[in-house]
Amino acid sequence: MAVRHCSQLFTIINATLTVSFTGATETVGMTVLTCMMVMALNLDKQRLAQEEIDRVVGGDRMPNISDRADLPYVDAVIKETMRWQPALPLGFPRATTRDDDYNGYHIPKSTYVFANTWYISREHNEKYDPDEFIPEQFLNPDEPVRDPWSYAFGFGRRVCPGRYLAEDTVFILIVTILAMFKLEPLAEGELTPKFTLTIIWSVIISIPVIFTDPRISYPKPFKCRIIPRSEAKARLILSKSMSAI
């Protein structure tokens, strides 16, 4: 489409930015909630991530985006969260613009096609059980695993334009939570991972403006303890929250 007027270009830029922000709202929220759940279920993995954060960040500040390159285990935890429970198990639908043949299948023009993200995330691996949460599989350069960032946001020219914004947002939220808080189940055996493809309907009813997308996988409501890791961390949290007001 040719852009003839500056105002039209401004509208396109605004629309793209809006999609980048609003499109990531649910998927980012789902990924962070899932990571919180899985950290409460895997205290040993949580401890390893927190030890890495403490070594790199220290105790007198909160993490920032520039720390990411020095936090490979935290990065692996985020990747494994996305692989273990993809936010969009079936991705977004596409339509063929012409007849096509693929692996013995004839796909007529105008057929809806889904990239099965769930199947991709369950790629056969003789060493690791795909249904287990194992961040370490992303840390072995001799046995590379498909990076979830390569398929979680779509493919080709229609890849999500907000991918990098979402990537940075997910990182800073998760690393800050892990740096400041300990997550644990209320009691042993009380936290069971369960997911649904719809948001809680009471939320939709009470806030008419919000929308839901049944393609997005959400953790069902769960309970866990969220505890400041130390008094110093608690003071830092309060200080940052007060300065943000």
| 22 Cβ neighbours under 8 A, 6+ residues apart | none
Residues annotated within the binding site for heme are 160
Asked if 90 and 155 count as a contact pair (C-beta separation under 8 A), the reply is no
Residues annotated within the binding site are 160
Question: In terms of DSSP H, where are the helices of 42-121?
Answer: 43-57, 72-84, 117-121
Asked if 170 and 148 count as a contact pair (C-beta separation under 8 A), the reply is no
Asked if 32 and 157 count as a contact pair (C-beta separation under 8 A), the reply is no
- Token pair in block for residue 199: 């948001």
Q: Rounded to whole angstroms, how far apart are CA atoms 149 and 49? A: 20
What is the DSSP code (8-state) at residue 142? T
